[in-house]
Structures are given as structure tokens and as C-alpha cells.
Structure 1
Amino acid sequence: MNLYAVARGKMRAFTNLKNRSLLSIYDPPPAYDSQPCNVIIFGETGVGKSSVVNLIAGDKRAKTSPDAGACTFASNPYHIVLQSNRPFCIWDTVGLNEPEISHDNYLRAVKQAYKLVKELERSGGVHLLLLCMRGRITKSVQQNYRLFAKVLCERKVPLCVVVTNLENELCMDEWWSANKEAFEQYSISADGHACITATPGVGDIFRDRYEESRERMCRLLLDAELKLSNEGWKKDMRTWLTDLLGKMTEMLPLRHRRAGHPTHQEIMEKLVNECGFSKRDATAIAASIGQIRDHTPGGDDGLA
């Protein structure tokens, strides 16, 4: 008998049992005595955001198919209970896959931004951000950080970094020791981190590291939850949406700020037809977006 294999199997069973004690997950959101801790996981397409959600859940709940054609702010909430006094709701977002926001992507983002902001405002605001990335800080990583940490949450929400795809590293944690200075170089402020793998590998070759990564993610959330206030950060929904869409114009290419940018009429029609605003309110919001944009570098032409 292979004693090593037996011992490894027992350790794996113990780890699975321990991890099951760390969490439970619900598909339809149950009724809670308190608001959930809202966590937004974001990052460029293909870094494993949905796989990280499934890692935490211990089950394949989040869809992991390619989301390159989906909208930046498209999101799905997953309700999870860890060993804490309140539940978590993890918002799995599509994120940016390009270093710039195009005219069409901006207009597509209006409806999903409205939906996300409305749900977050209703459910208590944002408590924590998770920046999910592979082992390199690309331009898209920087722009995703800018969009979610700076624009959506105005640098007022704690952020933790989750580095995936480290299953082949001799020691996953050593990645952070070797690369943490790069985050300071790119002005990415992290309140915590987890170096993990989000896949058990073909034939479960990375199963042990996968279970270790699950425990790391649960501990990251639990440790963060101890430092969080009961109320997440939020703004009045209309003000939040206006500021978000206005500041997003800063991320349009300069050529789109001068010509071909989203017009007052285009934004107003999106707000009326897809978000349910009255024409009067939509006109006021579109005008406010134009005012915000007028005060950004290269944006003095306003919304036509």
C-alpha cells in the first residue's frame, strides 16, 4: 500500500471538510437579518474571475465561458455565507478587456451601469473590491483598477488583489514578495492579497493547491470582513450613476472626445429606453454628464 497516497487522501478529505465548514452557498438569495457584505470582483477578461467565485463557493455556480462580447458592467451576484456574522454577496463582473472604452462600449455600459448601481445602492453599497489578475500588471489591469476603484468607488472602498494562475510556482506566496513593489509603481493600492490557483488542473493534478487556494480566499474575505463597517460605501443612485457615466468619458480615446463621442441625445435615449428614466430626468442626467466631461482634460467640447 502506498502510505503517502493514503496520507494525502486523508489530508485532502480533512481539507475539504474544513473548507465546507468555512462556507455555505445559496442560489436564490435567502432572507437575512442584516445586509450582505457586497464584494465586487473585477479584472480583464480571461483572468479567472468566475473561477475564483466557484473556488470560494466550492461548487460551479458562476459561468466560466468567455465573456469578451459582454458589457463592462454586466454582473451576476452570488450569495455566500462564511463563518462570520453576516453573508457575502460576490458580484462577478465582466470588466474591461481593452485599455480604452470605445463609443459603442460606452453606450452599451449605460444600462448595465444603471442596473449595477441601483442594486448596490439598494443592498447597502460596496464593502470590498477584489482585483483579479494574472501575473503581470498590463494596461488593461490599470484601466480596470481605474474604472472600478477610482471611478465607480472613488477610492473609498478597501481593495484586495487576487493573483491567479500560480499553480506552477514553487511557492505561490513568493510571487507577491517579488512583485509587490510594482503595485506601488503603478499606484495600485492594496489592503490585502491572495496568491492562488483557481483550477484543480487536468486530472486534479493541482487539487492540493486548489484546496489551499480556497482556504486562502475564504480567510481573505473573513479577515477583510472584520475591518469593514456595517454600511458599505454608496451614493444616491442618480448622483452615483451621473458621476460614474461622466467620469467614464475620461476613459474615451482622445479622438472620441473630439469626434464620434456619445452625444447628449444618444445618452438620453439610452436612459429613457433601457433604464426607465423619464425624458425630463434623462435630459438632466445627460446634461450633468456633459458638465462633468467639460471639466476633464481634452473634454472641453462637451456633449453635442
Structure 2
Amino acid sequence: MLYIVLVVANAFLILTICLKRSLHEPMYVFLCSLLVNQLYGSAGLFPFLLLQITSDTHTISRSICFLQIYCLYTYASVEFCNLAVMAYDRYLAICCPLHYKARLTSNRVALLIAAVWLYSSVESLVCIILSTSLLLCGNRINKIYCDNFPVVKLACSDTTVNNAYGVLATILAVAVPLIYILLSYTKILRVCVVGSKETRQKAVSTCTPHIASLINFSFGCCFEIFQSRFNMTSVPRILRIVLSLYFLTIQPLFNPIIYGLRLSKIRQMCRNQFCCKNV
């Protein structure tokens, strides 16, 4: 039921943005990329998880395991990078409104989205290539989905390069986008402090869903990183399982709700569609 709701909610907003020409603005195009990524990430988890739940055997082949790792790692990286690009969009809209359309042309928006997906795909692919070359001495990981670090811990061969790249990949996928987002919001805050009441209202209305989405996703990812890297046996097992699924289940459900409720144009489009159906 959760997966059905998640797919319907994200697909509905994607179709709304794609079909309504008034929503063909950089802000909503970046949001559409975010929603597509959430469908992609949830597809990497739910179908196989549902198959495992309904099956008597709980095994996964080596190739499918690494495919799932690639999918989930790409999803997490795209999410953070997409949120960084959306922060740049908000920075231009609030701090440089006169140059907004000149700086964010259709071609540049498409280039930014392509760069986000290509960057994340290559970063995750390198991680998978390094892991597939390892000789594994075990075949059991304590997770309900495949994760790279528990797989690396099964290796008999030297994992120095894998561990070093794992730290580097985390910095590139998480720390760098978060630093850029922080810098963007620092500049936005400065403009709001000295700006008019209208500027502050615009900043609050457009930045609130972005900040809420960032905090929600960062919480889930940070817990997953800490759980993979450090000993979390003091946390109850059922809580560890729920929180390990948080960034893969709650975020794709959270974003359509928060953006649908907070962004007035999307609210109006949804209202018009429902009104038309009722008529």
C-alpha cells in the first residue's frame, strides 16, 4: 500500500508539471527531476523487497545485489545533488531576480539536470566496480537490502582502496552538496535581512519545502551512514530496520506532500484538475 501511494503521488505531480505549460519553469523542472529520482530509488527497493516478503527463501544473487547497490547509491547522490541545484535556483530567484531568466535558460537547466544524473551515476559505478573485484569469504549481510559497506566487510582481499573511495564518495555525494546549499542559504538570509517584507515572504514560501525536504532526507541518510560505519547495537533492532528504510520510503512520500501543499501554483493546478473532474 505504501509503494502504491508513493508511486501515485509522485507520478501525479510529474504529470501535472509536464502537462501544464505554466509550470515549465526551472523551479518546477528541478522538482520534476527530484520526483523522477524518487520513483527510481523506490523501484530499487520495493519490488525485490516485496518479492522477498512473499517468498520462503531470502537470498539474492550477486549480480542483482550489486545492481540494487548501484540503484540506491545513485538515488541518494542524485537526491542531494538535485537539492543543491534547487538551492542555486532559489538563490538566483531571491538574490538576483533580474538575472534569473538570463542565467537559468532552458539549455542550462537541462545541462544542470544531466550533470546531476551523470555525476551521480559515474560516482556510484566506480564504487560498484571496486566492490565487484573483491573476493568474498561470506554470503550473509545483516540488512534487508544490499548495501556496499556490509558487502565489503565480507571480503578476504585487501579493502583499503574500497574504504578510501567510500569516504571520498560520501564527501562528494553528501558533504559537497550540503556545503553548497549552506552557502546559498547564507546569501539568501542576508538578502532577506536587508530586503523588503515581500522578499522575505517569497523566500519563506519557496524555500520552506526545500529546507524541509533537505532536513528529512539528511536525517535518514546520516543515520544509514552511521549505522553502516559504526556499531549501533545499542539501538533496538526493529528501530534500526525502520530507520534504515527511512530515506528510501519516507522521502519519496514526504516530497509530493510538502511541495504540493506549499507551492501555490501546484496547489492551484491540482485544484483545477479536481474541479474539472467533478464538473
**TM-score range, shorter-chain basis?**
under 0.3
**TM-score, length of structure 1 as denominator length:** 0.21
Instruction: Specify which structure has the bigger relative contact order, considering alpha-carbon pairs within 8 angstroms and separated by 6 or more residues.
Output: 2
**TM-score, length of structure 2 as denominator length:** 0.23
More helix by share: 2
